[in-house]
Structure 1
Amino acid sequence: MARKDDITGQKPLNGYRSSKANNKTKHRFHLNLKKRRFYIPEEDRWVTLKVTAKTLRTINKKGISAVLKEARKKGTLLKEV
Structure 2
Amino acid sequence: MSRVCQITGKRPRVGNNVSHANNKTKRKFLPNLFTKRFYLPEEDKWITLKVSSTALKTINKHGLAAVLKKAKAKGNTVL
Q: Smaller-chain TM-score range?
A: over 0.9
SS in 1 for 2:21: coil
CA RMSD, Structure 1 to Structure 2 (Å): 0.8
The normalised TM-score by structure 2 is: 0.95
Identity among equivalent pairs (%): 53
Q: For 1:15 and 1:63, locate their aligned partners in 2 and report how far apart those are by CA, in whole Å.
A: 34
Which sections of structure 2, spanning at least 5 residues, go unmatched? none
Runs of 4 or more above 3 Å deviation: none
Task: Figure out how many residues of one structure are paired with residues of the other and give that number.
Answer: 79
The normalised TM-score by structure 1 is: 0.93
Aligned pairs for 1:44-63 (under 5 A) are: 44-63=44-63
Give CA deviations for 1:20-72 in whole Å, capped at 9, x if unaligned.
11000100000100010001111111000000001000000001000000011
Which sections of structure 1, spanning at least 5 residues, go unmatched? none
Q: Which residue of 2 aligns with 1:75?
A: 75
Q: Which residue of 1 aligns with 2:24?
A: 24
Please identify, of 3-12 and 54-63, the stretch whose mean Cα deviation from structure 2 is larger. Answer: 3-12
